[in-house]
């Protein structure tokens, strides 16, 4: 934590490359995992993680440690970037239909389970993307960032009860959406 604040000061003061590399290195794997859990696409996760850190370094002058811990600020930027990505034209255009030949399956059961998982994952992501931005942020931080309700309330600067209400309402909406998908 102390090193982190020193690195941030050095970056803010004179754009210190060594400090920037150290800060990025400290959080890179964690941010990549956060993104990967929501995309299940290694290449896309690498690209988005890189974009997030470029954004972090460009906007680090706006970071105020009195308002939030750096890690909290980083997750907020990452969540916002994911929301932007899923709203983007490029995401909508890349709703790829992958050839069945692209998959390698051990047997027919593996193939069925894998395809069902991928379809369910895509359906859940689509349903999360339909939520309002605030609810998306809460769901992403809770499910993919492993934050507690209290931590999310602090990050979003809203009451704990509001976080819980929005989270459980979002889960209910996602469940209903998944029931519709499975009934079709």
Q: pLDDT digit string (tens) for 101-159?
A: 444 544 444 545 555 666 777 788 888 888 998 898 899 889 888 889 998 998 888 99
- Work out how many domains the chain is built from and give that number: 2
Coil, strand or helix at 10: helix
* 155-170 core/surface letters (b: 16 or more CB in 10 A; e: else): bbeeeeeebeebbeeb
**Positive or negative, the Cα torsion across 35, 41, 46, 50?**
negative
Q: Are residues 45 and 71 in the same domain?
A: yes
Residue showing tokens 């690209």? 47
pLDDT at 101: 46
pLDDT of 83 over the 50 cut: yes
Boundary residue ending a domain (70, 96, 122) = 96
User: Is residue 165 within 8 Å of 180, Cβ to Cβ?
Assistant: no
pLDDT at 91: 59
Q: Are residues 14 and 56 in the same domain?
A: yes
CATH number at residue 26: 1.10.1740.10
Q: Are residues 4 and 92 in the same domain?
A: yes
Q: Are residues 162 and 119 in the same domain?
A: yes
Q: Are residues 90 and 105 in the same domain?
A: no
Q: Are residues 57 and 27 in the same domain?
A: yes
Q: Are residues 90 and 103 in the same domain?
A: no
Does the pTM of the predicted model rise above 0.85?
Answer: no
Measured in whole angstroms, the distance separating CA 68 from the mean position of its chain's CA atoms is 18
C-alpha to C-alpha distance for 180 and 129, rounded to whole angstroms: 16
DSSP summary character for residue 8: H
Provide the residue count of the chain: 184
pLDDT at 68: 83
Q: What is the average per-residue pLDDT within 61-89?
A: 86
Domain encompassing residue 106: 98-184
- From residue 68, how far is each of 92, 98, 153, 157 by CA, in Å? 33, 41, 12, 10
């Amino acid at each position: 934590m102390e090193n982190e604040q020193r690195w941030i000061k050095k970056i803010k003061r004179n754009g210190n490359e060594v400090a920037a590399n150290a800060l990025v290195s400290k959080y890179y794997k964690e941010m990549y995992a956060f993104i990967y859990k929501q995309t299940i696409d290694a290449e896309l996760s690498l690209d988005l993680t890189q974009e997030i850190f470029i954004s972090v370094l460009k906007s680090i002058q706006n970071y105020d440690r009195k308002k939030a811990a750096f890690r909290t600020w980083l997750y907020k930027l990452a969540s916002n970037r994911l929301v932007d990505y899923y709203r983007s034209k490029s995401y909508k255009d890349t709703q790829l239909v992958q050839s069945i030949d692209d998959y390698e399956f051990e047997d027919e059961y593996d193939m069925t389970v894998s395809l069902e998982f991928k379809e369910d994952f895509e359906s859940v992501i689509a349903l999360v993307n339909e939520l309002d931005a605030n609810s998306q942020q809460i769901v992403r931080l809770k499910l993919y960032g492993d934050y507690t309700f209290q931590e999310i309330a602090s990050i979003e600067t809203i009451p704990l009860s509001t976080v819980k209400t929005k989270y459980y309402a979002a889960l209910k909406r996602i469940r209903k959406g998944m029931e519709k998908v499975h009934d079709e």
